Amino acid sequence: MIRVLIVDDQDLIRFGLRTLLENEDGLQYAGEAADGLAAVAKAQEIRPDVVLMDIRMPGIDGIEATRRIVAAPALAHTKIIVLTTFELDEYVFDALRHGASGFLLKDTKPDELISAIKLVAGGGALLSPSVTRRVISEFASGPSRAVKPHPQLGTLTQRELEIVGLVGLGLTNDEIAERLVVSPATARTHVSRAMIKLGARDRAQLVVFAYQSGLT
């Protein structure tokens, strides 16, 4: 059973999400919060598998709440899906940087939301290649950001550096394999090793590391 915490400052949205969860096999409504501070406290109390996190809320916003939840050792298994009104919300990249496993629009269809929760709970990253490319493109064309190489970047092999760069461009494992003329299994192995070395929670965070380290 996947236990889900709902975080949003709008009563109607929380009610809708709660109703959806309560009527879906395999998912369990674990609780809710209306602001960032309450979200952190509730997450520490109930230790959910997945948090549906709004961005703009009173008190601390969803980004800071995400950072605090991800940083808590007791919540290492908790995954966070950011809910946003706009696909390229200015805060999306920062949310991913602070450990969110992906993001969804608030008008996402119910069946897609359910699938996303299950994907993230199983260790997947809710960041499709097409969305990755749009996010990176948006921030690459915005105000310049200083390159801050990951402190463990030097532990990667040349091939792993190359592959992390391709992950940052939004390529799937199959596309990486085709580009480098290797098997998909080999591409997956390199991606997995890079994630372990860099301490990435999932593929979404690997994309962020690639961008921040100047590999894309």
pLDDT per position as a tens digit, 104-116: 888 888 998 998 8
Locate tokens 């961005």: which residue? 55
Q: What pTM does this model have?
A: 0.74
Do the Cβ atoms of 211 and 139 come closer than 8 Å? yes
The per-residue pLDDT for 196 is 93
What sign does the CA torsion over 164, 70, 53, 95 have? negative
The per-residue pLDDT for 145 is 60
| pLDDT tens profile 34-70 | 999 999 999 999 999 999 999 889 889 999 999 999 9
Tokens of 171: 């390529």
Q: Domains along the chain?
A: 2-126 (3.40.50.2300), 147-212 (1.10.10.10)
Q: Are strands 2-7 and 79-84 parallel, antiparallel or unpaired?
A: unpaired
The per-residue pLDDT for 169 is 81
Tokens of 83: 């809910």
Helix orientation angle between 158-168 and 203-212, rounded to the nearest 10 degrees: 100
Determine the average pLDDT of the residues in 92-111: 82
Among 110-124, 162-176, 181-195, name the most confident range: 181-195
Report whether pLDDT(25) > 80: yes
Distance (Å, whole) CA 84 – CA 82: 6
The strands making up 2-7's β-sheet, listed across from edge to edge, are 27-33, 2-7, 50-54, 79-84, 102-105
The percentage of residues in the chain with a pLDDT greater than 90, rounded to a whole number, is 54
Q: Which has more confidence, 190 or 130?
A: 190
Report whether pLDDT(143) > 90: no
The per-residue pLDDT for 53 is 95
Q: Name the band, by pLDDT with cuts 50, 70 and 90, for residue 140.
A: low
